[in-house]
Amino acid sequence: MGFFSFTAWILLLYGIGGFILFKVKNKRGETINIPFWRFTLPTGLVLVIILSMIVRIDPQQVGVVVKPSGVENTEIHTGWHVIAPWNDVHKMDKTVWVYTCAHDAKEGSRPSADAIWAPTKDGIKMGFDVSISWRIDPNEASWIYQNVTESDGGESGRYLWLEENVIRTKLKSALALTVSNYSPIEVYSTKREEIQQHVAERVKLEINPYKLILDQIDLREVFYNSDYEISINNKKLAEQEALRLVEVTKQKEEQLKQAEIDKNIAIQKAEGEAKALQIKGNSLSMNPKIIQLEWINKWDGKLPQYMMGNGQGVILSLPNNP
């Protein structure tokens, strides 16, 4: 399209130049007649008028027709369109925009930390890194063009205004209303997906009057405020220390139980040995010859090679031969 427009304007300007030169005479009273100007002038004029009436809308765009009487309510969509030369076509972006609120300034849409804080049902404030994907309703682009200001932001001005004054505001409101129904542990872990779904439903309803479409909301990160996080860490350390002391106490109780068992076994063993010695002593006192009988039972049948002392108490063996 750009090439044809350029060619049409070249032909038109060439024809205009030829016409001017034809009307102006030189010093000798002669006219300057450049070739083909009579053809290029009307041809270029017709082509410029026709091409100015043709408008191309890209697949990522939607067109809003602005007439001298006001904005037309019917949008024009992807393709080639013939528009009256006295009308203007404003092309609007219908692709998905992503607005991010993040604690880290490098990740958010704003140059500074921009996490959204909302209180739980326990009154504990929690922070959220959130990304919201949205786009304009292509069939309502004319309404947005008429009712949303560009705020000196150029072609993106309307979208920036919508993000700051509609998307961000409704997102904060939806998070606050939703999170207030949950406890901190539910928000942090067990109910995060459910919360995300409820927030998306609320935001979708809130931005609908502005002719906006919500595609997706992502709760990217959830975190506690610094004071509450410190208290949680201290509580966890205290719980771990308590568990350690309980374990140490259990070990000591087991050791005491084992020591008691060992003591009882030793006592029982000592009592048994004492009782056995007592019984044995009583038996010997009642029958002294038992000692000689035990000596005989333990003798291997060999006489000693040496004798010491006066020989008292020695038992003489009888000869083996008869």
List the single range of 16-30, 52-66, 175-189, 211-225 with lowest mean pLDDT.
16-30
Q: Give the pLDDT confidence score for residue 216 in this predicted structure.
A: 93
Minimal CA–CA distance to 16: which of 43, 47, 37?
37
What tens digit of pLDDT does each residue of 195-209 get? Answer: 999 999 999 999 999
Q: For residue 242, what are the contacts with CB-CB under 8 A and spacing of at least 6?
A: none
pLDDT band for position 293 (cuts 50, 70, 90): low
Average pLDDT estimate for 264-279 = 76
CA pair distance 226, 56, nearest whole angstrom? 54
CATH superfamily of 97-230: Band 7 domain (3.30.479.30)
pLDDT top residue among 110 and 196: 196
Mean pLDDT of the region 115-133 = 88
Lookup: tokens for 128: 């959220």
**What does the DSSP 8-state code read for residue 78?**
S
Band of residue 1 on the pLDDT scale cut at 50, 70, 90:
low
Q: How confident is residue 137, by pLDDT bands cut at 50, 70 and 90?
A: very high
Q: What is the pLDDT of residues 38-94, one digit of tens each?
A: 778 788 777 777 777 788 889 999 999 998 888 888 899 999 888 888 888 889 999
Average pLDDT across the chain, whole number: 79
Average pLDDT over residues 247-258: 81
* pLDDT for position 40: 82
pLDDT at 176: 92
Q: Is 162 exposed, middle or buried (0-12, 13-18, 19+ CB in 10 A)?
A: buried
Highest mean pLDDT among 151-155, 164-168, 231-235, 248-252: 164-168
Determine the Cα–Cα distance for residues 61 and 145; give it in Å rounded to an integer.
13
Instruction: Give the model's pLDDT for residue 279.
Output: 72
For residue 312, pLDDT beyond 60: no
How buried is residue 298: exposed, middle or buried, by Cβ count under 10 Å (0-12/13-18/19+)? exposed
Q: In terms of residues, how long is the chain?
A: 322
Mean pLDDT over residues 274-292, rounded? 67
Mean pLDDT computed over 229-234: 59
Assign 28 a pLDDT band (cuts: 50, 70, 90).
low
